[in-house]
């Protein structure tokens, strides 16, 4: 099982679709949870029982911001500049508080840290300036064992954005 994970807005779904086109067996966490009766609807959200779902195995790539919690052998964490994540999620019409929760999660490496705690091998790709095809190419490189450039810990948004923190956290436009 391979997790394709990252903060919402970093490109997971688009890359997963590209990998499907290339012949990979790819499923979303939501689809996998529904398949195994591990999902329930609460209001407008689908809640996944990760503990129950992690008992099931999948031979392929599971895409979603919770996939790294399913005990995969490999986790590929997609990262993206928090300013761009904020812009993308605002354009999707997300609630501002939810947007900022995800911006903060990306800024402080929440998913990367969780992946490191839950997975044998973790890789990190900064998608900020890459096309979907380029990210999919990198994922394929990692899967072929050419992964030395994608070891975790190379992305540091706090250092990179310290002079733009107000822009990252400001209400409204980006």
DSSP letters of 83-126? HHHHHHHHHTT--HHHHHHHHHHHHTTHHHHHHHHH-SEEEEEE
Q: 56 near 32, Cβ under 8 Å? A: yes
Per-residue confidence (pLDDT) for residue 162, from 0 to 100: 66
Question: Which CATH number belongs to the domain containing residue 39 in this structure?
Answer: 3.40.50.300
Number of domains present in the structure of the chain: 1
With respect to residue 10, please indicate whether it lies within any of the assigned structural domains. yes
Give the span between the Cα atoms of 136 and 55, in whole angstroms: 28
With respect to residue 174, please indicate whether it lies within any of the assigned structural domains. no
Beta strand 26-28 with 2-6 is unpaired
Per-residue confidence (pLDDT) for residue 42, from 0 to 100: 84
Q: What angle do CA 156, 159, 163 make, to 5 degrees?
A: 135
pLDDT in tens, 99-153: 999 999 999 999 999 999 999 899 999 999 999 999 999 999 999 998 778 999 8
The arithmetic mean of pLDDT across residues 52-64, rounded, is 95
């Amino acid at each position: 099982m391979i997790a394709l994970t990252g903060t919402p807005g970093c490109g997971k779904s688009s890359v997963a679709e590209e990998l499907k086109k290339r012949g990979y067996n790819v499923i979303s966490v939501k689809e996998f949870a529904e398949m195994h009766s591990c999902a329930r609807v609460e209001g407008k959200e689908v809640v996944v029982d990760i503990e129950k779902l992690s008992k099931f195995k999948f031979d392929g790539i599971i895409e979603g911001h919770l996939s790294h919690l399913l005990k995969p052998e490999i986790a590929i964490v997609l990262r993206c500049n928090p300013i761009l994540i904020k812009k993308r999620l605002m354009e999707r019409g997300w609630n501002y508080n939810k947007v900022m929760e995800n911006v903060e999660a990306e800024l402080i490496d929440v998913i990367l840290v969780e992946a490191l705690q839950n997975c044998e091998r973790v890789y990190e790709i900064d998608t900020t300036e890459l096309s979907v095809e380029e990210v999919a190419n990198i994922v394929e490189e990692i899967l072929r064992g050419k992964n030395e450039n994608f070891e975790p810990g190379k992305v540091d948004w706090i250092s990179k954005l310290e002079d733009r923190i107000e822009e990252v956290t400001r209400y409204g436009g980006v």
